[in-house]
Structure 1
Amino acid sequence: MSNMNFSNLNLEPKILQSIDALGFEEPSQIQAESIPVILEGHDVIGQAQTGTGKTLAFGAPMLSKIDHNSNHISTLILTPTRELAIQVNDELSKLVKFSKIRLMPIYGGQPIDRQIRSLKKGIDVVVGTPGRIIDHIRRHTIDLSKIQFLIMDEADEMLDMGFIDDIESIIKNTNPNRQTLLFSATMPNQIKKLASKYMSKDTKYIKIEKNTLTVEKIKQYYYEIKHKDRFESLCRILDVDEPSSAIIFCKTKRGVDELVESMQARGYNVEGMHGDMNQNQRMNTLRKFKDGSLEFLIATDVAARGIDVENVSHVINYDLPQDTEYYVHRIGRTGRANKEGIAYSLVTPREYILLKQIEKYTKSKIKRKEVPTVDDIFEAKYKHIAEKIKTTLSENNFKNFIPIATELDEEYNLVDVAAALMKIVFDNEISFDYKENSINKNIDEEIRLFLSIGRMDNITPRKLIKFITETSSVEAHEIGDIDILNKFTFINVSESIASIILKKTNGKKFQGRRVSVEVAKSKKSKNR
């Protein structure tokens, strides 16, 4: 991890203001190493895993340098998929909050006439897929002859998807004096050839090594939630699990402050830690957490560094981290001293692709759990209250209350009295005014599909995803786990996506062979 601040990196003040508003405390490693070199004007090859903050690594210095008062496109960013084009554009939009830089995503599936009209109005940064950019070049509706930056994101994915000819054609239409940035998770020979052909001789190569990971003793789960239900989902989880000691992670300082305020308002014993707090504040909060007088600690990744507290039963990712490496550091706060720990992550459907990247990075399976219903909460609280009553009865220290119970017995049934007292305890222990039994009613269940092609048909995950995305309107990130066997394949998708694939992909041909797609039977999927 780096130990510098964004303010040390000489970024343009308005871009820095946007980063500060987002609440990021410090750059990730790829950001800390890439930003100064890009600002110096060098071509850069950045090799780092997906989910390490590459968009900000190239976006912040690029946006700091471009001339957005010109009447031409200053930057072209190429991405392999329209989903990634949208994602990159969204991330850059957050960085230009205080400036007048104009951004635009360009990809297939959008009406090209609408794109042409927007381009004519003037755009500074275009984020696009190779195929659609080629379409605009052929129509002469996009001019790349004066761009300052050409950026290729997830370059290995673009080459694997067969875009090499398109990429070379696009490069030949760009300003020869541009600054070129290439970011990729891997560095195959095709990329090296592309770099040697189209990048400067003094190109800087920045490689971020993967750390070894140890997460075996930690049970990892995720809850698929809707963004608007994030806080209520957390409350439901805490009400059911009743963790004795938990660290809850937020991505930003502002997120910590807002969550602390919301939880304290509902009676949780909680305090926060982040980089804007002075050392005394942080040490005092940590002391209370260590001695057990504080149940929940809400922290950013930076503030949590060096926290070594035994008996932390749960780590909860209220937000997924900016950098996949942070995930490992977070969940490592539990499961200390050979004890088992539990790690939960709250994940919206849009964040599912990042969850898959974390799984790949950690080489571990993160299992899905359902957000608890009110019935689940009632059952958990009932067991907890019943245990308290049994313990009090066994300790025989309730004699002072017998006269009150005797008096109530004259007017009411004692079973009713006991139930009323249990309700009072239950109401006191519930922190959220739950309106519905379940808040996951509108989130799709996961469906397992069977496809009649396998390794014998020379299928690979990449080829399979390409086949499905080309035969249906499904995006690559909407396809979950893939299990390729010798003669057939299974994929996991949401219920709504499954219906699209069944309707559009079933019966289509892969390499001349018609593919059958059906919902996998439970016994079949287990035994095959």
Structure 2
Amino acid sequence: MSNSKDGQSADKMQHGVHAEPDKVVEPEESMPEFTNEELPRSILNAIENAGWDSLTPVQAKSLPYQLYNRDLMVQAKTGSGKTGAFVLPLLEKLRPDINYTQALILVPTRELARQVEREARTIFEGTGLRVLSVYGGVGYGHQREALEKGAHMVVGTPGRILDLLLRRTFDLDDLETLIFDEADRMLSIGFYPDMCQVKSYLPRHPISTYMFSATFPEHVLRLSKEFMYKPQLLSLSSKQVHVTEIEHAYYEVPSMGKERHLMRILEMENPTSAIIFCNTKANVEFVATVLNNFGFNAADLTSDLSQSRREKVLEQLRNGDVRFLVATDIAARGIDVPDLSHVIMYEPPEDKESYIHRAGRTGRAGSSGIAISLVDVIQKLELQRISAAYSINFEHRQLPDDKQVIETINERLTTILEGRFRGKTILERERISRYKDLVRQIAQDEEQCTLVGMLLDELYQSSLHSRPPQPPTPKPRPNKSRPQKNYRSKSGKGGKPQGSRSGSSGNKRRY
């Protein structure tokens, strides 16, 4: 059964690969699951209080590794109970009698921060453990007060965590557990710079680190070594490990006004870079024009372009000077751009084989990739035929409404603004503070607010123009061998692995 909800599950499958039941792939030094009799009393109580019948597979499989403090990457589908998987072991690791932050959970969005906080409060009920979520877009007052009282577990977005660290209202000196939720996003191009800064605040003493994600692209496997000591991978969602599958999804859109829905989808998906496929030259030119008029940086590629012009466009795409390429199948032949995060089919291909060629443009060299189709009611039937022919499971995604788009834009803008402010010097901050009264004055007038909106729109449009830089390839760090740490039971019974403050030294690296 599923006892926690991380969101709606998504079907993922490589093109041309038949669906098979999930296969568990254990680390080389695998650990057996605990029986109910072996589970710590605190975890049994939490399961009973939450009304769960049993642990989900990801919780049961990952629990022993976490209680024995082995750095672990856990691959499991969305909706499989990942939040409970990393919160439950904290019942045995956190001490409610000491008022400092002992566990930090890093998440990519404020909504996920709130979701993890809600589930943790349910699991921690009656234990005296305090949990706090911190994220941008709100004032610092409440978050600062909660930190002063002592939050045993803090869950937050990297930008706000970094802001609090820089303001010295938060410290990680006594941290013992670090968790990355949706690790593929946490180590993505957008968050990596902040993650590197957060890493500089981690304590010198050994800590346990865990990463949870539905997929582990090659760059995440590589960058994980910057934060973990000899990490092992536990996979519960794929027959193949270390290979990220291409996601296949579709949006059902009306045939009229499809270009407007494309804009919303691009804002929600926020691709690093993408090829947008159309079936005709006329539609290629139309879509490219609409994208550029809206603020996206796009180029069109059709078969009648000269060779020199074609090569220039492809070079701009590879360099990141162009974020979106709109093309026909014929014009896209021979294109090999390794960093494409998305392939978007504005129109489904005219034959089934072309879908495979289009989708195969993304997910290169072990990277993650998403192939998205925009279809109307009739075109959906063709997608079903492609699904049957190649055994592809297509995820149906709901079209975003205005509220969802605005919330996403607001969160993205807040992250950009807070990130820029962190980089300002003391003199620059003093200069900025001169405008506080003016901002308050403008905010009180509905019409004057439009002036601030104009500035925010300019900032947002510039963020759409080009993709952020890729994280660099980290230099390998020498790993020093250390003895394996085993926890003792708090209750002193049975010698089961339990968290304790006294056992904080052992098998983790020092930063």
Q: Shorter-chain-normalised TM-score: which range?
A: 0.3 to 0.5
Task: Name the TM-score, length of structure 2 as normaliser.
Answer: 0.45
Q: Greater relative contact order (Cα 8 A, min sep 6): structure 1 or 2?
A: 2
From the CA coordinates, give the structure whose radius of gyration is larger.
Answer: 1
